[in-house]
Structure formats: structure tokens, C-alpha cells
Structure 1
């Protein structure tokens, strides 16, 4: 078997995996015969769209129900709980953007299936030690990329005025909720997720792990907009991100505080609380 044939065989592993995901999701809504008439690229987009909506509403509703109703006044005082109107507005903004958000993972999977990235299909192809090393590098690149993309969306005035301001109308604790996590201008949301795709060209990345991390984004963004400070170092939790929404000049990081610490934009919520007490 020639090199081109071997490459084609290997790339088919990616296509088989994405096709499996498509069948699982589309099978709940479309007949097998009808779904097979839809081109693979659009099957993938529909799957990402359905998955994105389910993830958004499941994580948003379950977490909101827990912190605003079941545990009312435990995590947040009554005057910091967002109104239903504020949450409905966030849902409206997120739903308008969702079809466009789903284009990014769909395009990234297309590039992976065609061998344009450095993705690998099986962990056995590189071994567990290399897998964890590559994953660590991938996450550092993503953290670095999201930090600077987010920071430039603030520092470059037209980007803030025409894109990022849509998200920053939620600038008080009683206007933030898990539903605000995806309430962006569509292009803003895509730009902040681009580092996940860009990193695929720089470091070997396990495809299934990449897909999982993309969906983890949806859960994570809901979590950091609930205003509850988890106090788990070095996680960039909601306490830090709430400060970002109130000062606009701090805590641009995504998963951790390291980039903000390195580049001088970190502001600790516990220091803020100590100042209020004093």
C-alpha cells in the first residue's frame, strides 16, 4: 500500500468517527434514509447545532434552577439574582448566534477529515506519555490565544464597539447568569473559540479529545457567568470573571489565572472583598 493510500485509510478513521456522532444525534430527529441524503458537511453542522442547543439549555436551566431556586439565597443574595427578563434576553442573543457558532467546529472537523491539521485518531498512535504532553501544550496554546483574543476585543475600539459590547451589557451581578455564557455577537463568539482550531495546526491533538474540549467550552462559559466564586486555585472561576464584567480591564483569561498574572491584568476577588470589609 502506497503512502497516499495509507493516508487515505487513516483519514477515513476521522470520517467514521464524525459519521458515528452524526448518526447518534440525527437518529433522534431524522430517519436513517433521509439523513443519508444530506451531505456529510451539513450533517455535521446539524449535529453541532442540535448538540450546542441541548448543551446550552441543559447546563443553563439545571444550574440556574439549582442556584436561583433550590439554593436560593445560599450562594447569592436575593438582590444579585438576575431577573427572568435578563435571562430571556441572554437566551435570545445566544440563539441568534448559535447557528453561526456551530460553523467553526464543523469547519474544523472538515479540515481534520481532509488531513490539513496535525490531529491523530488513536491515542495508541502516539502513546499515553506523548498524549498528555501534547494535551498540555494544546491547552497552553488555547489559554494564550483566548487571553489575547479576548484582550484585543477590548483594546481595539471598533472590535469592542461593534462586537464585544453585545456581551458586556451584562455588567452587574444581577444581570449575569449561566445563560450569558454564550450571549455574544456571533463573530465575537467565533473569534474567542478560534484558538481551539488554530492550535490543531501547531501541535498533534487527539481528535476525540478536541471534540470533547469544544463541548466543555459550553459548560465552562455557563459556569463562569454564575457569579459564584469557587476559590479553586489557579482556576479562573466566576469570581474572577464577574470582576471582568464590572471593571472591563481585568481577568481576560479563560480556564486559569496564569495569563493574567503573567501580563499584569489579574485582579483577585478575595482582595476586592477584603477592601470592602476594611
Structure 2
């Protein structure tokens, strides 16, 4: 009987080589990246992909809400200055090389067979696929909630790590570019549940990578101060409250963890009280 781990490892390696050829081959000459060790190829691919996602999502969304739909979603006084956005970009770009270590290490550990990931959708049934993905997302939601909360509650962690992000605490300082403006270790800690979940539940590795990099788009969205009102999504209205009270709405994609642990604060209820 063939060892499925060996088969899976080969699929993971083939997939990584394919992604590298597409992204690195498009932006860099082969003589630059092909001789690099696999680990550094993966890191470089993740870095280029992360930078592209950050700037494309950030610029497109800023253009849409600050210029094309100017004064439609946000009043003029709520639009952040260029200086504030440039500072956020600077902080994010300093951290980006470090952020990219996490998916690189995750991919390496998956290639050597240490995680429970599987490489192809047809490796499991659809019921198993959806079930595993649901469990994975619960682990991620739970983990990110508590990491984020402890970054606030443990004073040294807040002072030396998370405070870097919370200098943006008003509508006119928050922008899509603030989404990745963290101390590098802070950003890695908050994304760490994505990687730890790979050791707990079998999950499609491509889905894991996609969800990890969707963070770049998602985090841009929740820092734009526009409340999308799509229950139970933890949209920007909830996250703006987090930046102003520091004690509510620690959650990730949904409001469930804040609801379960008593830290949820609804922007519509706040708006109703203010009227």
C-alpha cells in the first residue's frame, strides 16, 4: 500500500513549483530566483503576492470611497490625510517581509508532512471538505479573537506590539492601508491561528493559503469606517468601534466570538443611542 503522506508531499511540492513559476517567473528573471533554495523561493513568492494584494486592494478601495464616491460613504472630514495613509503604508511595508515568514513556514511544514493538510479537493468527500473547513474556520475565529484580546489585556504586549496599530483610532486616521499597519510580531501572532489549525484539522491547503491572503483584502475593508450591515459579518462599523473603545469587537470575520464572550458592541445600537 502506498504511503499517502509521500503522495501528498509530492503534490504540495508540485503546487509550490507551479505558483513560483507563475508569480516569480512573471516579475523576475529566472537566473535570479531559480537558484534560490525552495524556502526562499516560497518566501519571495509570498512577499510579492502580499505586496501586490496590499497595494491593489488598498488603492482601488481608497480610489472608490475617497474619490469616485467622495462624500457618499463618508463625510469629507472623515477622509484620512495622505500623510496618515503614507505612514500606514510605511509601517506595513516594514512589516511585510516578516509577515510572509508565517505562510512560508506553514508551507514548508506541509511539504515535509508535518500538518494534516491535503492537496486536492477530491482527496476527501464534499461533506468532509465542508466539515473540515468549517472546523478550521471556528479554530481560526476562536484563536484570533483571543490573541487579539490578549494583545489588549496584557499591558507589555499592548505597549510594545499592538499600540503601533492603535495610533489610528479615529475615522479621519483610519483607512484601508491601516489594515496591515502592525508591529511585525503583532501581525504574525494574529495570523498564527491559521497555521496552528493545520496541525489540528485536515484542510485543503490551497483553501488555507487563499484564506490567509484574503486577510489582506479583508483587513483593508474593515478599516474603511463604512458599516456594511451584513450580519453576522464583523464589518468596518464594528471594527471602528474597536478602534475607539479598545474593549469591544475583537473578532475576525464574524461577530460570534464577541457575542459568546460578552465583548460585542453593535454600531447600529450606538447610532440609535446617539440620536
**Post-superposition shift, 1:7?**
3.0
Aligned to 2:83: 85
Aligned to 2:114: 116
Q: Residues 261-272 of structure 1: matches in 2 within 5 Å?
A: 261-272=259-270
**Post-superposition shift, 1:275?**
0.9
Unaligned 5+ runs, structure 2: none
C-alpha RMSD of the superposition: 0.9
**Distance in 1 of aligned mates of 2:31 and 2:165:** 41
TM norm structure 2? 0.98
Cα 1:81–1:128 shift into 2, 3 Å = same
**Post-superposition shift, 1:172?**
0.4
From 225, 248, 251, the counterpart of 1:227: 225
Aligned to 1:17: 15
**Post-superposition shift, 1:30?**
2.3
Aligned to 2:154: 156
**Post-superposition shift, 1:125?**
1.1
Aligned to 1:133: 131
SS in 2 for 1:119: coil
**Distance in 2 of aligned mates of 1:252 and 1:126:** 33
Aligned to 1:144: 142
**How many equivalent residue pairs?**
275
Q: Residues 1-278 of structure 1: matches in 2 within 5 Å?
A: 3=3, 6-277=4-275
**Distance in 2 of aligned mates of 1:141 and 1:124:** 23
**Post-superposition shift, 1:33?**
4.0
Spell out, residue by residue over 1:217-261, the C-alpha distance to the aligned partner (whole angstroms, 9 max, x if none).
110000000000000000000000000000000000000000000
**Post-superposition shift, 1:28?**
1.6
Spell out, residue by residue over 1:62-96, the C-alpha distance to the aligned partner (whole angstroms, 9 max, x if none).
00000000000000001110000000000000000
Q: Post-superposition, which runs of at least 4 consecutive aligned residues in structure 1 deviate over 3 A?
A: none
